Amino acid sequence: MLGFAGFMGILKIVLMALAAFGLFDAAFRREDAFRAADKQNKVFWLIILGIALVVSYLFSLLSILPIAGAVASIVYLVDVRPALRQVGGGRGWGRRGGSSSDGPYGPYNGGR
């Protein structure tokens, strides 16, 4: 039984991390990106992912609530997040490409 309890503990931590990542990602996305991607709204996803995080912390994994929270987190990460990145041009807190010296019209070259 000790091995099963350890596995369930690790699984609980993974589900909490999944919900926390989705919650922080949604918190740093722009509200208009949710509307443009036609994926509910930002407040809806913040509430759902917040509840998923709390439920995965409070309840045992053998109940239905953490499973529902895991499904909500997976839906956000697999469906909503890619749509938001596509609409927002990949910008957000996990921005890729470009440089810190890029301005609104391209890279800043120091006046050269």
pLDDT at 28: 93
- Mean pLDDT per 10-residue interval, the chain, length 112 residues: 81 93 94 88 94 91 88 94 82 52 63 57
Which residue range is the domain that position 31 belongs to? 2-91
Does the residue 61 lie in any domain? yes
Residue 101 lies in a domain: no
Question: Is the residue at 64 inside a domain?
Answer: yes
3-state secondary structure of 76: helix
Q: State residue 39's pLDDT score.
A: 87
What confidence score (pLDDT) does residue 27 get?
Answer: 94
**Domain for residue 99, yes or no?**
no
Domain count along the chain: 1
**16 in a structural domain:** yes
Whether 106 is covered by a domain: the verdict is: no
- pTM, two decimals, is 0.73
Token pair of 79 as six digits: 């469906």
Residue 109 is encoded by which pair of tokens?
């070259």
Give domain status of residue 50, yes or no.
yes
The amino acid sitting at 37 is: A
Between CA 58 and CA 51 the distance in angstroms is: 10
Predicted confidence at residue 97, as pLDDT, reads 52
- Runs of H (alpha helix) within the chain: 2-27, 31-36, 42-58, 64-75, 81-87
